[in-house]
Structure 1
Amino acid sequence: MNQAVEVISPTLMQRHRRTLVVTASVAALLGIALFGSYWWTTGQFLEETDDAYVRADWVAVSPRVAGYISQVLVDDNQWVKAGDVLVRIDERDFIERLNSAQAQLQQAEAAVTAQQANLQTLDAQSGEQQQRIVQAQAALASGEAEAQRARLDYQRYRDLVAQQVASAQHLETVSASQAQAQATVAQARAQVLRQQAQLQVLKARRQQAQAQLQERQAHVGEVRAAVGLARNALEDTAIRAPFDGVVGQRKARRQQYALPGLPLLAVVPVAQAYVSANFKETQLQRMAPGQSVDIAVDSFAGRHWRGEVESIAPGSGAVFALLPPDNATGNFTKIVQRFPVRIRLLAREGDGPRILPGMSVIATVDTRGAPAHGG
């Protein structure tokens, strides 16, 4: 009986081994077939890189005016809305500067009003002077008419005296009247010239007053601009959030002296975060804006986000480097370049973890089909 078992056991073992080999071969072939099918339909269209990071266009908030900080209204990592006051600079000096500028503006406007009244007075005087000229011209015309009558009387009496019809005494009276009439005409003509000259003086004074008015109006504009600058400076004492985001790198402290351009804190638009993935140039052949992207974040194992290719950089990272490489040398080694690709994160349903700028991700772009937005 033992011999029978010993004879049958190798046969069973050979059959069992053959079954395992066949099963393994079938499984291997099936696996190869499935992998080949996956690669043919999907895998060859997927471009993946782990040289990818979450980015956000954050802003370093700095003051536009210098002064001592009176209030810091936010804490580290605090959510803020666009327009929220983050920091206040002591505004007392800026209020006084605005009051001073407004007082100067009132003074300048009063000077303009006074000069306009002066112009109106000069215009009234010019109108009155015109009437005086008309009156003087009328007196001159009357005097000339009287002089003409006196001349004719003199000529007539001169002829009568020559004929001994009139007395010489009467002729002398007529001659005196003629001389008086001529003097009156000369006086009237001089008066007309005097009134006309006075009108020219008034016109010159008006031109001077008009120039002074323009100068004072320009000064009003200058002072009004100073008021606007003072008002802007007062408003700038309240440093506001440029957009919705989270406060970071808060360096502002009370009684700290702030200088224009000195960063006090940063506002990071976490909700507008995007992925910057650096793909090799050999991976860009079928890549275009609008294609779907699968994003795996290293910080959250097993979780995936959806994205969309937004744009591809116009040059490789080496092109925009501080010291770009110069390959026109005797020795040259070809290196595959990488191009930054901007990926927009699509809204995710539910209250999942929020990915933050700086996190490392693995981005996989599906290059199948036409771009979602036409490239």
Structure 2
Amino acid sequence: MANPLKSPSTIAAVLAGATGIGLILWAWDLPPFDTAVETTDNAYVRGKVTFVAPQAAGHIAEVRVRDFQQVHAGDVLVQIDDRIYRQNLAQAQAQLEQQQAGLANWEQSKASAEAAIAAAEANVESAQATLRAAQANWDRTAPLRERGVVNQVDADDARAALDSGRAALHQQQANLEIARQDLQTVQANRASLVAAVDGARASVELARIDLDNTTVTAPEDGRVGQVSATVGQYVSAGTQLMGLVPDRVWVVANFKETQVAGMKAGQLAQIRVDALGRDRLTGHVESFSPATGSEFSVIKTDNATGNFTKVAQRVPVRIGFDAGQPQAERLVPGLSVEVTIDTDAAPDRPAEGVAAAN
């Protein structure tokens, strides 16, 4: 009797079953196919793309760059017609000069008020001296009049001189007080004049800033994207003129939460770039996202309602390119890459203060 275990159909069925089980174990990274090497193709080159926009409104007078041109920080990108802004600056400077002249006049008024006080004080001293002389004359005349040595007319003249001296002294003292009050009034006006000068100076600075803003410059080194600005176009504050892509780029790889257990900052990463013919570049893990990608989505999921199905979440991992790789200079933000990290490998560079994923 033939052994059924040796029949071709039985052998084929056993091989098919073993192959199926092996494929399942391999697909789920289960023993003996589990590995510490984690790979994801959900990864992209990233960079800080700055959209250049003016802070001043006006017609574009000149566009000095073309699409995809390399620029350096401070290079002029677009020049806006600045005639109105130049006149605004000239007007503000004229206002400043006027306010400064008013403050200079105040200094002159203060000097005049102080001189008037000095003159009033001298007049008071003169009136006091006249009063003392009149008092002394009266003190001599009054006893002589009682003894009949001096006639009544001379006595009346002496008395009148004394009264006149007192009145003159009171008048000069009043004039001195008026001069002092005038000085107080002049000094009180200084605060408003200084404030007017400061306000005019601030207006000049604002007008100068507005004038400077008519020249749109590159904020940092990089390459411009497509230039949408055209000569004669009217732009307002915030109008996007072009994009600027800095030279420094990195990779954000979105690993599943089941893949990051052994990842640490400083570990070596192998990066394959589709746009470079799948050339292999190297980099190192720099940092890990503080939350999964779903937490940063606009529409958040609510797992507390309906039927729940567990879905592995993605953790964004930032990877920086190693220096000395000429091919890396061709990378631009948005390119697709494939990242591989051996989680059993020890970090071979400092973590720079970034906590590991586990």
Q: Normalising to structure 2: TM-score of the pair?
A: 0.83
Q: Specify which of 261, 286, 291 is matched with residue 238 of structure 2.
A: 261
Q: Specify which of 177, 180, 183 is matched with residue 157 of structure 2.
A: 180
Kindly state the Cα deviation for residue 373 of structure 1 after the two structures are TM-superposed.
Answer: 1.2
Q: Specify which of 288, 292, 298 is matched with residue 268 of structure 2.
A: 292
Which whole-Å CA distance do the structure 2 matches of 1:262 and 1:97 have between them?
22
What amino acid maps onto 2:122 in structure 1? Q
- 1:238 matched residue in structure 2: 215
- 2:338 matched residue in structure 1: 362
Which whole-Å CA distance do the structure 1 matches of 2:340 and 2:199 have between them?
60
Q: Specify which of 253, 258, 262 is matched with residue 282 of structure 1.
A: 258
Q: Are 1:55 and 2:32 matched, yes or no?
A: no
Distance 1:185 1:288, change over 3 A: farther
What amino acid maps onto 1:291 in structure 2? Q
- 2:68 matched residue in structure 1: 77
Which whole-Å CA distance do the structure 1 matches of 2:281 and 2:207 have between them?
49
Matches within 5 A, 1:300-315: 300-315=276-291
Kindly state the Cα deviation for residue 232 of structure 1 after the two structures are TM-superposed.
Answer: 1.1
Q: Are 1:132 and 2:123 matched, yes or no?
A: yes
Matches within 5 A, 1:56-205: 56-155=47-146, 157=147, 170=149, 173=151, 175-205=152-182
Do 2:281 and 2:325's aligned partners in 1 also have CA atoms closer than 8 Å? no
- 2:295 matched residue in structure 1: 319
Which whole-Å CA distance do the structure 2 matches of 1:226 and 1:145 have between them?
66
- 1:250 matched residue in structure 2: 227
Question: Secondary structure at the residue paired with 2:198?
Answer: helix
Kindly state the Cα deviation for residue 176 of structure 1 after the two structures are TM-superposed.
Answer: 4.3
Q: Please give the per-residue CA displacement for 1:159-207, whole angstroms capped at 9, x wherever unaligned.
A: xxxxxxxxx5x46x1x544443333222222222211211221222222
Do 1:280 and 1:337's aligned partners in 2 also have CA atoms closer than 8 Å? yes
Do 2:265 and 2:347's aligned partners in 1 also have CA atoms closer than 8 Å? no
Q: Are 1:215 and 2:192 matched, yes or no?
A: yes
Q: Specify which of 204, 224, 233 is matched with residue 227 of structure 1.
A: 204
Structure of greater Rg: 1
Kindly state the Cα deviation for residue 140 of structure 1 after the two structures are TM-superposed.
Answer: 1.7
Distance 1:137 1:113, change over 3 A: same
Distance 1:91 1:74, change over 3 A: same
- 2:21 matched residue in structure 1: none
Matched residue pairs, number?
321
Distance 1:44 1:150, change over 3 A: farther
Which whole-Å CA distance do the structure 2 matches of 1:148 and 1:371 have between them?
112
Do 2:59 and 2:235's aligned partners in 1 also have CA atoms closer than 8 Å? yes
What amino acid maps onto 1:236 in structure 2? N
Question: Secondary structure at the residue paired with 1:266?
Answer: strand
Q: Please give the per-residue CA displacement for 1:284-317, whole angstroms capped at 9, x wherever unaligned.
A: 2222222211111111234111112111111111
Kindly state the Cα deviation for residue 352 of structure 1 after the two structures are TM-superposed.
Answer: 6.6
Which deviates further from its counterpart, 313-322 or 49-58? 313-322
Do 2:283 and 2:320's aligned partners in 1 also have CA atoms closer than 8 Å? yes
What amino acid maps onto 2:262 in structure 1? R
- Root mean square deviation of aligned Cα: 2.2
